[in-house]
Structure 1
Amino acid sequence: MVDVAKVAGVSKSTVSLVLRGSDGVKAETVTKVNQAIEQLGYVYNRDAASLRNRESNLIAIVANDLANPYLAQVIMALEAELERRGFMPVVVNINESVARQTTMIASLREHNVAGYFMTPAPETEAAWLKGLATQEHPVICLMRDVAGSDVPYVMPDNVKGVYLATQYLISLGHKRIAFVGGVETISDYRERKQGFIQAMEEAQLSVRAGDIVPSSTKREGGKVALHRVLDSDNSITAVMCFTDVVAYGVYSALMERGLTPGKEIAVVGFDDLEDSRLMSPALTTVRVNAEDIGRVACERLQQWRENNSVPESALVGVELVVRSSCCSVGERAG
């Protein structure tokens, strides 16, 4: 099989996929592998291959937090795409813990997984991640980037998404806007914060120290962050939230203070979870298609395995979905 891979100019794992009849390999690659097989007179022994590589079709999905509803949507999309391509997905939860991430990866390596999709835990070291990724066991990061690791990522265009949402709030006349939620050590927080600041600076609107409040990405984090913002400055008229889940917590905090979301204070989320359109009022948010994340991530993994080279990272498009949670300044209830 090694000789076939060399002649075809692909990886050994790609040859294995072709021999197993996976439909996730490009037609031109299948042709090259079959030509190499014919040229070399190679005969595929399925029984021996099964004994040697019994688990070589396993792909690990290392989830940072399975309680995150948007990540659950991405994982479902990944599972469907991987199965279509002839792989068996295995999902593990690291619960945002670097220590658990290290332990889980060590166990997965013992099972000869063919590759990894990871949403790296906060504080993941670039050198560790770089050492994990190889041609035979490629790694694609989901939703987050670890700077300096040279490991490709697939994630939403976070900067653009929050930039568009903040621009929309500004167009409604809001000048005092807060950005709440998210953990400072993860890349998606920094990127979404960048989009917020960029839109505010372009509109020549000030961003005070207390206008940006990081917090847990749970609902409770949004609730705590909103209280902190309004306790320090009640001139805030709009809130840009790190995620929809954070926005749900902001709704709760506003109601605790006797304020109505979408009337006294405008609220925008990020992700467009299924429940967001059912909120009262329906949440304006940035939509990211989970199926697109899953499809593009699988394409990148396959490219690495087939082409013997690290693929480029990818940003998936975003869309602002306007619903009922954003009043204009003139419409605010008195």
Structure 2
Amino acid sequence: MEDFGIIVACCYQDYLFAKGCCASIRHFLGDVPICLIVDGTFSVSSLEKAYNVRILNHHNVTHELLKKRSFGWGKTKMIAFWESPWKHFLVLDADTNVWGNVLKYADFKNYDAVIDKPRYGYPDDKVCEFFFEISAVEKYFPDFNWQAHRHDYFCTGTFFGTRDIFSLEEYIEILDFTEKHPGIFKYGEMGFLNFMLFRAADNGKIRLGQVPMQLIVPDFEREAMQKRFPVEETGPVVQNEEAIVIHWCGPKPRLSTSQVYPEPMSFCRRQFLHNERGYTGTTANLWLKLEDYSSLVNVYKNKILRKLSQRRQRLLTQK
């Protein structure tokens, strides 16, 4: 595929999964180009060396607006629409794995973007929980027919896109709106990106396709996942030519978790570690457990700091 690459968005606390994500790309898709959009200043040289990964970060993004306003949870991946090294791209969250040849869904001849087709529609309360406050969207965007898409709204952990299908001016308007009206659009970019995509498609500005290309792990029992995505000593076993992106958007696939089935990610993390350091067996498992522990400490530290900041803001407001 010409002028195409895969873009993985990550920050410090999910970099351990980004390495597994990139390893899954190499395992199933070969030498397809990869770019990492990095929110933060930590070193990602291991991925650069292992898989010849390109890097986009605060230093080399060309648009000043994106440097200042589009890094951070819920905004980092949006940079791909203007700064992608390739005209066409696949975006992946760090906590995903490619399973099979998902590139078969990349139909850029007929579409400018191809997104996941969810397994179910959303009643009003779920639209409000996961995507946007309905009453507010009806008030501020009365021309948007949100009900027409209640069976189409998707988790934005993965999608195929094309550079510059949105103008920066439109994005600025969305950023300004979300800052002025926090809480209307939900889950970072998920609410407003769904809104932007479907509004543009409704207005004939983009060609939007949908295929069932993403599996949301919390929707499935662990036993069903284990049966569907078996991992043997020799590696993942793809059944019935399945091609899908596995997305651990709830509990994360740390090595020894009991909450979800982590083996696809664990295998890929081991693959990366073997490629990077030559570690296998017990040594590899100990290293991955150390990564898991460090990641959890960082998660809880950030939660505490966030709560302290919120408490401080409330106290300042009361004065």
The structure with the largest alpha-carbon Rg is 1
TM-score scaled to structure 1, two decimals?
Answer: 0.24
Higher relative contact order (CA 8 A, sep 6+): 2
